Structure 1
């Protein structure tokens, strides 16, 4: 059963400009592993975290660092959730989180499905 669906898009150039103006954003938004990725990949991960928040009902108090995008050996992304995000997912009975990322033509996008 689907508990929530979220989608988000991010302009890669605008995102790059934002992190150039405020370098501290990278540490606030991404884990140390995520932070090593290229800017288009970071923009897609930001979109994924936004999409996940939407799929979880967009409650206040979620920490960006409590949702990390991992990539397996074949390039498939998945979420590792802890803390505030894991607590919200548990409260909703979420048993699985599906995520798809894309970036092309200057736009990064993400789609998330949370299911029970």
Structure 2
């Protein structure tokens, strides 16, 4: 396998918190899948960190694809949940999955990190 794409992103948690408060749920509905929203809202006090980490991961993924968000890959095409050990697991669907397949991407590696004020993510696409 070889690396096809690499993306990274960092998000200020307070920025995500402000957007969530200002848009009263519209932000979550636009950016996150139902399963992501459910998991994030279960976190209560940690919800802002959860959503900031997922935001950073989605940005890193589209950077690895070389596209940004648009017709090739939308926010809802990317879902990041965790396995039983807590590792982030990416599921691409719709146009995002089709575009990744057209690039020959077979495997994704995702990592999300959280600090007091920031969340960051790295995405590596292999094929």
Give the corresponding residue for 1:87.
98
Q: Which protein is richer in helix relative to its size?
A: 2
Match of 2:51 among 42, 45, 51: 42
Give the corresponding residue for 1:66.
77
- TM-align CA RMSD: 1.0
SS in 1 for 2:66: coil
SS in 1 for 2:34: coil
Alignment: residue pair count: 116
Runs of 4 or more above 2 Å deviation: none
SS in 2 for 1:8: strand
Q: Normalising by structure 1, report the TM-score.
A: 0.96
Q: Normalising by structure 2, report the TM-score.
A: 0.88
Give the corresponding residue for 2:118.
107
Give the corresponding residue for 1:31.
33
Give the corresponding residue for 1:52.
61
Structure 1 gaps of 5+ residues are none
